[in-house]
Amino acid sequence: MPHASVSAVSRDEALRLAREFATARHADTPPCHDFSHVERVLALAERLAAEEGADLFVVRMAALLHDIGRGLEPRVGPDPDRHEELSVELARPFLEAIGLEPALTERVLRAVLEHRHRRGREPSSPEAACLYDADKLDSLGAVGVARAYLWLGEHGRSVHYPPESWAGVDPSNNATEHDSLQREWEIKLSGLKDRLYTASGRAIAAERHERMRRFLDELELEARGEA
């Protein structure tokens, strides 16, 4: 983080500093949520912002900072899985230290906080909607498959699980012992294309949805020795 604040940091300099800060915060993040995830989300968010008329600077800053709290998030315990709040807690002093205008700071922080709605929040600005959709799109398609298996590998899970292995498990139960790409598709990913907030995001999601569905269909045949 910069050691001295400035009165009015340029937007290019703010983006450079945000990338530097985020890269450092992701240094020890597991592969599923490493800085390559941030770079993909940034590229998608920029594309959506251009198509949806959102503020590109706010979207870029929020995308760079949206997951910086993951390194502080406990994997187990009474209060896991709140990285969006932790990211805001880290991002606020950073943005104040580099001298970003207060109004811009609040818009960036709001987008970071609203990039997921595990606690009932929904995107309340075009910038938040672009970031939300870009983040979710990185869970679909070929990249979504690759990331799912990175996550499963991190938690000692395997390639294929039949439906009976999670039958009766509450869909809201996120315990890793029940996790699989097959279950994630059934309870969440298969419906994701219809739950995005931007028209351009939904169009991309429809293509990625089909790509992922085809993979899972082929995997099912191979797992049964039928292909």
- Structure confidence at residue 70 (pLDDT): 84
What the block records as the tokens of 166 is: 């999670």
- Structure confidence at residue 119 (pLDDT): 60
- Structure confidence at residue 18 (pLDDT): 97
- Structure confidence at residue 120 (pLDDT): 61
- Structure confidence at residue 83 (pLDDT): 80
- Structure confidence at residue 176 (pLDDT): 87
Measured CA to CA, the distance from residue 13 to residue 98 in angstroms comes to 9
Predicted model pTM: 0.91
CA distances from 224 to 143, 212, 219 (A): 24, 19, 9
10-residue stretch averages of pLDDT, the chain, 227 residues long: 56 96 93 95 98 98 94 55 86 96 96 79 94 97 97 94 93 88 96 97 98 98 95
C-alpha 74, offset from chain centre: 17
- Structural domains of the chain sorted by starting position, each given as residue range(s) with its CATH number in brackets: 1-121 (1.10.472.50), 139-227 (1.20.58.1910)
Please say whether the beta carbons of 33 and 67 come within 8 A.
yes
15 Cβ partners below 8 Å, 6+ apart? 57, 60, 61, 64
Classified as helix, coil or strand, 225 is: coil
